A and B are shown apart, each in its own frame.
Chain A
Amino acid sequence: MNQIPHHPQIPIFLTINGTLHELKVEPWVTLLDLLRERLSLTGTKKGCDQGQCGACTVLVDGKRVNSCLALAVSRDGAEITTIEGLAENGELHPLQVAFIERDAFQCGYCTPGQICSAAGLLAEGHTPSRAEIREHMSGNLCRCGAYTNIADAVEDVLMPRIAAKEAAE
């Protein structure tokens, strides 16, 4: 077997929340650890670190993924959006507003992942029912059990958009 250097540094580019980062990372560093430990973007949470809880959900090229299961090197060139990047010009994202209005959390640890996941759901463009919202949010666990309010908050943002889209068609 080839000798593997102790700290091989692989150059990658990532655009994170609109800012281009030129980075060097070991190939075993996950996107989650890169965000939290190297870039101090600690809004993205480490829950199970196994792809089972969804707390680490971020958007990669607009699609929601578990950042704990993504090796950073394999996402070279991608655009990453984390919870820190959802607000625009000092205005909270509508999902952030809805989560506050609906009190869609208790401890708050799953919330960044819930909101990024819901942002991914909005972008997917499906026209879900309440049952489908619950199904499409099933990759995000909330151990406090705030699911009812989470589904309400997502529905608040999603349903008017669907209605507007259908009216436009």
Chain B
Amino acid sequence: MNRFEYIRPATVADAIAALNEPAARALAGGTNLVDLMKYDVAQPSRLVDINRLPLKSIEITPSGALRIGALVTNTDLAWHRDVREKWPILSSAILAGASPQLRNAATAGGNLMQRTRCYYFYDPSTACNKRQPGSGCSAIGGVNRIHAILGASDSCIAVHPSDMCVAMAALDASVEVEGPDGKRSIPMSGFHRLPGGEPERDNTLKVGELITSIIIPKPDFGAHHTYLKIRDRLSYAFALISVAAALRVEEGIIQDVRIALGGVAHKPWRDFDAERSLKGERVGTQSFKQVADFILRDAKGQGDNDFKIELARRAIVRALEQAAAGTPQDQADKSIH
């Protein structure tokens, strides 16, 4: 681990001031950052320990939205009574990820800032454009079983590893940030980015900006939701494919639909055109297959991960069937129905 300066500010303003240098990093739960520092993948000049900031509350706003402080732990968020009742897809997605120990330390803001689990990104002896811009991508033509099938570029085929963010993408969350130029709100779909020619940039945060909270509108899906996660082990493994799906159906006709995919791209994958195409259609496997084909129309395998395209197709259909039936995937009993 490199040597760094350690600062523990008491206010958001002091934290932002301390973060205003390119190699400074905010420390919350540390479950990803400390890990990356041990590998010398992250080498911050300064750690700004934000754990004393007043960003730990979960509130329901007057409009019925959920406001999650950036420092709320994944555990507290997943088990919160209101979240379990009104935003169950979020609770389910969080409990599908990591382990209880990690969820006890990891925060909502930190989860948004998670970096890819690409093997080459984690191995400083290999070329990686995300870790060292311009050095090349070892995953292209390398071992790429876990890599992207949508939205990849010639410089990076890494995927974003979060489960929580997939549910937040489906629920139209927005990320509240504060920085040297003031406050702004970033829609979830615009927070993470595709790699393009700058895979070192995971998201659209600017230097010095700090996530303060995440806001999720009141949903309208009742029991018609699911978070379906397909992985190599039954538990404690990153998604090969995950699907957050929610439906609002009246008399067999789809009125509203959300489909977000994890494990497929550099960001949680929403396809608004695909969702629009499903509105007005009759609920059923046939329309679900059509929308799955549409979402995957530009999917491209890298060799080892070619199987993920068919896996994604089937997972989308299965997730929509679960949502339609009002039988969300159970995250303890992993049988898929």
Contact = CB atoms under 8 A, between A and B. Distances in A.
The yes or no verdict on A and B being binding partners is yes
Contacts of B30: 69-71, 74
A94 interface: no
A168 to B, nearest CB: 21
B35 A57 contact: no
Nearest to A66: B101
Contacts of B98: 139
Interface string A41-81: 00000000111001001001001111001110110100000
Interface stretch (B43-51, B288-296, B321-329): B43-51
Contact of A66 (B23, B38, B45, B102): B102
A124 to B, nearest CB: 8
A74 B49 contact: yes
Best-surrounded residue of B5, B38, B99, B234 (most CB of chain A within 10 A): B99
Best-surrounded residue of B31, B101, B236 (most CB of chain A within 10 A): B101
A112 B102 CA distance: 17
Contact of A65 (B8, B46, B105): B105
Contact of B3 (A28, A70, A73): A28
A136 interface: yes
A122 to B, nearest CB: 12
A81 to B, nearest CB: 14
A131 B334 CA distance: 9
Contacts of A136: 100
Contacts of B105: 65-66, 69-70
Interface stretch (A1-9, A96-104, A149-157): A1-9
Interface string B13-26: 00000000101000
A136 B103 CA distance: 11
A1 B331 CA distance: 46
Contacts of B31: 51, 66, 69
A10 B29 CA distance: 19
B111 to A, nearest CB: 14
A27 B6 contact: yes
Contacts of A76: 8
B101 A131 contact: no
B305 interface: no
A96 B35 CA distance: 30
Given A1-B23, A121-B100, A138-B236, A51 B35 contact: yes
Contacts of A4: 3-5
B102 A51 contact: yes
Contacts of A139: 98-102, 236
A65 B5 CA distance: 24
Contact of B99 (A2, A28, A138): A138
The 6 closest A-B pairs by CB, nearest first: A139-B99, A27-B6, A138-B235, A132-B332, A135-B332, A138-B236
Interface of B: 1, 3-6, 8, 21, 23, 27, 29-31, 34-35, 37-38, 45-47, 49, 51, 75, 98-102, 104-105, 234-236, 331-333
